[in-house]
Amino acid sequence: MKVVVVGGGFGGLLTVRGLRNADVDVTLVDRQNFFLFQPLVYQVATGSLSSVEIALPLRQILKRQRNARVVLGEATAFDLDAQRVVVDDLPNGEGQVELPYDVLVVAGGSRYSYFGHDEWAPNAPELKSLQGALDLRDRILLAFEAAEAERDDAAREAWLTFVIVGAGPTGVEMAGQIAELARSLRREYRAVDTSTARVLLVEATEHVLGAFPGPLPHKAERQLRSLGVTPLLSSTVVGVEAESVEVEDRSGTRTRIAARTAVWAAGVTASPLARALADATGAETDRAGRLLVAPDLTVAGRTNVFALGDMVSVEGQRLHGVAPVAMQQGRHAARMIASGAREPFHYRDKGELATIGRSRAVGVVRGIELSGFLAWALWLGIHIVYLIGFQNRLLVLTRWIFSYLTRGRGARLIHRERTRSAG
Amino acid sequence: MKVVVVGGGFGGLLTVRGLRNADVDVTLVDRQNFFLFQPLVYQVATGSLSSVEIALPLRQILKRQRNARVVLGEATAFDLDAQRVVVDDLPNGEGQVELPYDVLVVAGGSRYSYFGHDEWAPNAPELKSLQGALDLRDRILLAFEAAEAERDDAAREAWLTFVIVGAGPTGVEMAGQIAELARSLRREYRAVDTSTARVLLVEATEHVLGAFPGPLPHKAERQLRSLGVTPLLSSTVVGVEAESVEVEDRSGTRTRIAARTAVWAAGVTASPLARALADATGAETDRAGRLLVAPDLTVAGRTNVFALGDMVSVEGQRLHGVAPVAMQQGRHAARMIASGAREPFHYRDKGELATIGRSRAVGVVRGIELSGFLAWALWLGIHIVYLIGFQNRLLVLTRWIFSYLTRGRGARLIHRERTRSAG
């Protein structure tokens, strides 16, 4: 039996791994040659981790799984009648291939959307892909360099102002990290005091981490403020330019913030593969572009087509777009494919944690609300355990121990080819 | 006293560090925000090391040296009468600054030249800068991916053919690493046997590592062949295109090698700063563009202008363009600046080592010729000891131990935004 899995994130990879002892041939299709440990991407953007520590080549992960192969390329269309996936953008630059399947699993993930304002993207890179994080790292580090070189006070202040859009876990973590980075760099600059940097966290709702229960959003807000982050709640972004971000509060008042660096972590939308699969099957999508799938993760009554992870909404279930959901769905899909049975997916919610900075975090674990050092230690432990691959795990641990002891940041290299204009 | 040091490589950085207890103000100017451990750059190109392991932010290195500051920008001109250095391309994108000095030290390093054929560069990236190494890493990894996707035998063979130009230490090390990489990736691909890859090392002279004494070039050649590398000696490159490299042997016969990946490691030429300083002082340059300096490293009789490292030729001395020379010259310059004396530089030659692959190396240490495992172990130890910064040293050691034990390569991420054409 031929199984084609599209997408090498948490959901897709766990599907493939779950089939390692099954009597099937699995083909994993991804545009990138690596699996990305997405929950830590923001740490790359601030130089705490380097890309190799949160990304591992798919071929390396699947090296010993002899029933699996990897195809590097972009799945662009599904022919469900002929049971084929069209894969484009092959690495040899020639044409496309059609991969035949008996069972198809699509796990394309999600991305941030700019609320219909794609023109904001160049000035506010998204913090979900590795490319976005590396781009942001260059910008953030160059902003401190520019502040050091700048003689005009107002211009310097704009270089030292960072606006993060969206106060979900990623935005909160990023805001805390930038504040910590600014403080830890203080002694490296001579003309400027980087610890005077302003970090503004813009959020449309009334709370940071609004999805967390009870007092946790308030606690998170207090922890953010103690780090020097200023939350701008009940505020929406109405404009992003190279040198400013415009924000509108609930009363309709607009404020233009002079800021040279903006980070986008809002407006989650499903992968375009959700749309492609909806078009091919007649399934519906929701407002966030997510494909509606049956409780057993099948699509539009086809028992050999599964979709899972951030790009789907499971009928009758309200699930967050987090890694544990995708992982459990991937394992569930693999079990169903191996056994031939079709059973509803049930999410076992072990909790959720969001870190805010060094020794600061909030979360719920098995129903218990936690905050502060304990939550942070738990967050650290869980993320290290889940980082796939022994090599990476030890290296991340080593780097983090150093980072914690020395308050240093190793991965602070500006790779960008610098040109005469900064921007 | 104001000291301006241009260039944050081995020579410039050691000058700055050597002045840490002197009663001077030091300004270090560099285009990049990091010091690069250049002798290991080739390991980034094959994914054995990631960039953070061989690069360290200059500000981090000089954080505690309170008499030193870093200016990120490109030194473009020297006004020796007004005693000023013009620095352009500042990170805030505005204008330029002129840095006044009492003493000037210029250490701009060297680069590879394409023998007047700069049009070859896009198809054969140089292996000296971090940018070049990252570019090559993407190309090499994509070449294996393309071979996996390719159905045409001849085309597949071209994807699996790697041509390295120049058999100095960098070229030899790179050839060995690619051969090892191809072998170690064998089990990760399903459609292609990567260990059938051809690695060709083109060298204009009769020997690989021709600068090494006695039987070492022969031993190095034998070790290369045992790894599967084919040296093409007494051969010069006469053309580089996207899909082929043309080579001419001593008899004038030209051969076109179908190869999709070429690496440039030949034709060392001095930094353009040598030319700029020659124009400003009237000093001479040699055929490789190196500035001729007095035995005390001063330029054209000016006792407050020093030049050192790969970009100079010291009057009456024949020195290789290697890190230990630049380091000793940097320390020497710092001592002279602190004391006010001007004394001739003498190189203490402790030897030279070139690694060829896992457990393979050749070299001369304190006059003794070494090859094989002992030379390799010594090479490894020396490079780790010299890697600046405790954090990096331990991480590199950790990664290398893993790499040795597992024969795995961690840093194999393709960062390049892939487009429809391969190239």
Q: What is the pLDDT of residues B330-361, one digit of tens each?
A: 999 999 999 999 999 999 998 889 999 888 99
Q: Which chain A residues contact residue B90 at CB under 8 A?
A: 146, 149
Task: Find, in chain A, the residue whose alpha carbon is nearest to that of B35.
Answer: A413
Asked if B410 lies within 8 A of A418 by C-beta distance, the reply is: no
Confidence (pTM): 0.91
Question: Is residue B52 pLDDT above 90, yes or no?
Answer: no
Asked if B391 lies within 8 A of A406 by C-beta distance, the reply is: yes
Question: Where in B31-143 does DSSP place strands (E)?
Answer: 34-36, 55-57, 68-72, 74-79, 84-88, 97-100, 103-106, 110-112
* pLDDT for the residue numbered A419: 40
- Tell me what the mean pLDDT of segment B44-73 comes to: 90
Which of B50, B59, B414 minimises the CB distance to A33?
B414
Residues A159 and A150 sit within 8 Å (Cβ to Cβ) = yes
Query: What is the least distance, in Å, from the CA of A149 to any CA of chain B?
Result: 7
* pLDDT for the residue numbered A400: 66
Tally of CA atoms within 13 A in the half-sphere of A391 that contains its CB: 26
Residues B274 and B108 sit within 8 Å (Cβ to Cβ) = yes
Of B75 and A413, the structure prediction assigns the larger pLDDT to: B75
Asked if A130 lies within 8 A of B415 by C-beta distance, the reply is: yes
* pLDDT for the residue numbered B396: 67
* pLDDT for the residue numbered A3: 98
* pLDDT for the residue numbered B278: 97
CB pairs under 8 A between A and B: 171
**Helix or strand or coil: residue B266?**
coil
For the CA atoms of B115, B118, B120, B123, the dihedral, rounded to the nearest 10 degrees, stands at 130
Question: Is residue B378 pLDDT above 50, yes or no?
Answer: yes
* pLDDT for the residue numbered B423: 31
Question: Is residue B411 pLDDT above 90, yes or no?
Answer: no
Q: Specify whether B173 is catalytic.
A: yes
Asked if A57 lies within 8 A of B413 by C-beta distance, the reply is: yes
Q: How far is CA B316 from CA B294, B295, B313, in A?
A: 9, 7, 9
* pLDDT for the residue numbered B419: 40
Would you call A406 an interface residue with chain B, using a CB distance cutoff of 8 Å?
yes
Q: Which chain A residues contact residue B415 at CB under 8 A?
A: 51, 130-131, 134
* pLDDT for the residue numbered A414: 76
Strand A97-100 and strand A84-88: pairing?
antiparallel
Q: pLDDT 10s per residue in chain A (423 long)?
A: 999 999 999 999 999 999 999 999 999 999 999 999 898 899 999 988 888 878 888 998 898 899 999 999 999 999 999 999 999 999 988 789 999 999 999 999 999 999 889 999 999 999 999 999 999 999 999 999 999 999 999 999 999 999 999 999 999 999 999 999 999 899 999 999 999 999 999 999 999 999 999 899 999 999 999 999 999 999 999 999 999 999 999 999 999 999 999 999 998 999 999 999 999 999 999 999 999 999 999 999 999 999 999 999 999 999 999 999 999 999 999 999 999 999 999 999 988 899 998 889 999 988 899 999 999 888 888 887 777 554 556 666 666 666 666 655 557 777 765 443 333
For the CA atoms of B399, B400, B401, B405, the dihedral, rounded to the nearest 10 degrees, stands at 100
